Structures are given as C-alpha cells and as structure tokens.
Amino acid sequence: MNAYLEILRPFNALMGVIAVLLVALISGIFNLYVPVACIIVFIFTGAGNVINDYVDHKIDAINKPERPIPSGRISLNVAAIYATILFIIATIMSLLIGIIPGIIVVLSAILMFLYAYKLKKSCLVGNLSIAFLTGLCFVFAGVVLQTVYLSILLGFYAFLMTMAREIVKDMEDVEGDSMEGANTFPIKFGMKSSSILAAFFMILASLTSPALYLIGIFNVLYLIILIFAIAIFLICAVSILKDQSKKNTRIVSKRIKIGMGIVFLAFALGSPIISNLLHML
C-alpha cells in the first residue's frame, strides 16, 4: 500500500464514513450533503491518524515499526505538512456546508491535536477523547442531515465500543508507552484493573444495545444480527479478564473491531428503509 494512503489508516477512516452513511440510511435522508460529509469525515479522520503517528513515532518504533514514519517511508516534516493540509481541507469543506458543522470540525481538530500532544498520555482522558470523536462522527452526520437525536443514540454506542477497544489497545502498547513516560490506565492501575474496565464497557454495550429496538429505532432484524456482536463482545470480555498478555490483547482488539462492524451491519439492516424493502419483496 502507498505510504501516504497507509498513514491515513483508510480502514479506520472508512469507519467514520460508514457512520455518516448509517445516519443517512436510518433517517432516510439522502441528499448532496451525504457524500460531502463522507469526504469530510474521511479526510479529517485520516489527518488525525497522520498527526497521531507524527507525535508517536518513537513509541511506534517500538510497538509498530512497520508504520510509514518509523519505517522511514515518510519523513516527520512531510507528515506534519500532510496532516495540516488535510485538516485545512476538511475545515473549509465543512464551513461550506454550514457554520455548525464547521465549528464541530474546528473544535474536533483542536481536540485531536490536544490528544496527540498531551491527552493520549493521560489516564483515561485520551481514551475518552478518541471515543468521543468516534461518536461525534455520527453526531456530525446528524447535524448535517438534521437528525440529531438519532445520531446521538448511535454515537453513544460507538462511544462505548470504542472505549473498550482503546483500553485494550493501551494494554497491548504498555511496553512502549512506559518507555515514553505515558500515564495510561494500564500503566497507572495495572493490567487486571484495565481488563475489568474494558470488560465493563463491552458488557454495558451488550446489555443496553437491544434498547434501540425496544424504543422503535430498528426492526427485529437488528436484534437477530446484534446477537452475534453481543456474543463477540461477551467472549472478548471473558477472554481479557482471563488473559492480559500482549498476544491476547492484540487478538481481543481485533475481535472488538469485528464486533463493531457487526453492530454497524445491524444498524443498517435493522433500519426502516430495509424493513420497508423486505415488506415489498
């Protein structure tokens, strides 16, 4: 993969795009703002990943030496310029949509910079920042498409799932983070306490997510698909409580991402539009 595309972490950036598309699908609102919002979220998320890699190049040299900066495929100066240009493009595009979307992007960019330079090394604050920004992708789409209530509900569950994964990722990276003087939750409170907290968020998301069916947001197909995601989250919760080794934290982190993907699929197939299509067949 091209280094300039790889450093954007396109899969993670596409998760933000999926958030926008899900809000559009569930709300039934499809207009020209949808593709524009998708582009903005992709560019912004990619820019955030670049600046994060820029700041973490020393840690990544230990934890993930194959990444573009520590591997030498992209220099630090070029990465900084690249991130700045992407942030500017996302900001201009969002302001063209409206003042509120523009404010959201600007404030999110400030939070992203604070996260990369300071908050990431703080206990739980960094995790909360990333989880908040993930949920904010849904809210941004809701603001653009004028369906804020729905987007907040979806963003809340994205927040819970992301919190669980962020804590597990900190457990995986504890060696490199320790050498850089970070004060993450696993470093401050230990791996066992971290596993309990990560499991808490996974279980909380699992137990409360059926409520979106009960309040009439989704149809029964949502529940059917959701069962698979809940099973993955509960298995991950048990696994991380039993084994906090680096090997297992890496496995659990990947499984949580799969679980998140299934939840998003449940969002899509459980939407009213899909329900109406099924009734027409």
- For 188, residues 6+ apart whose C-beta sits below 8 A from its C-beta are 123
CATH architecture of structural domain 3-280? Orthogonal Bundle (1.10)
Q: Each residue of 113-125: pLDDT tens digit?
A: 898 888 877 889 9
Mean pLDDT of 261-267: 95
How distant, in Å, are the alpha carbons of 19, 77, 83, 158, 233 from that of 265?
Answer: 11, 39, 31, 13, 15
Looking at residue 66, its pLDDT comes to 85
Q: How many residues does the chain have?
A: 281
Domain ranges of the chain: 3-280
Please give the torsion angle defined by the CA atoms of residues 134, 260, 79 and 2, in that order, rounded to the nearest 10 degrees.
Answer: -150
- The pTM (predicted TM-score) of the whole model is 0.88
Reply yes or no on whether the pLDDT at 277 is more than 90: no
Looking at residue 218, its pLDDT comes to 93
Residue 17 DSSP one-character state: H
Least-confidence region, from 48-57, 114-123, 142-151, 196-205: 114-123
Mean pLDDT of 2-8: 89
Distance, CA of 60 to CA of 172 (rounded, Å) = 12
Looking at residue 177, its pLDDT comes to 76
Better-scored residue on pLDDT, 97 or 179: 97
Looking at residue 281, its pLDDT comes to 60
End-to-end CA distance of the chain, in Å?
A: 41
- The one-letter code for the residue type at 60 is D
- For 80, residues 6+ apart whose C-beta sits below 8 A from its C-beta are 51, 54
Contact call for residues 105 and 91 (beta carbons, < 8 A): yes
Using the CB atoms, write b or e for 158-184: b if 16+ within 10 Å: bbbbbbbbbbbbbbbbbebbeeeebeb
Q: Each residue of 140-167: pLDDT tens digit?
A: 999 999 999 999 999 999 999 999 999 9
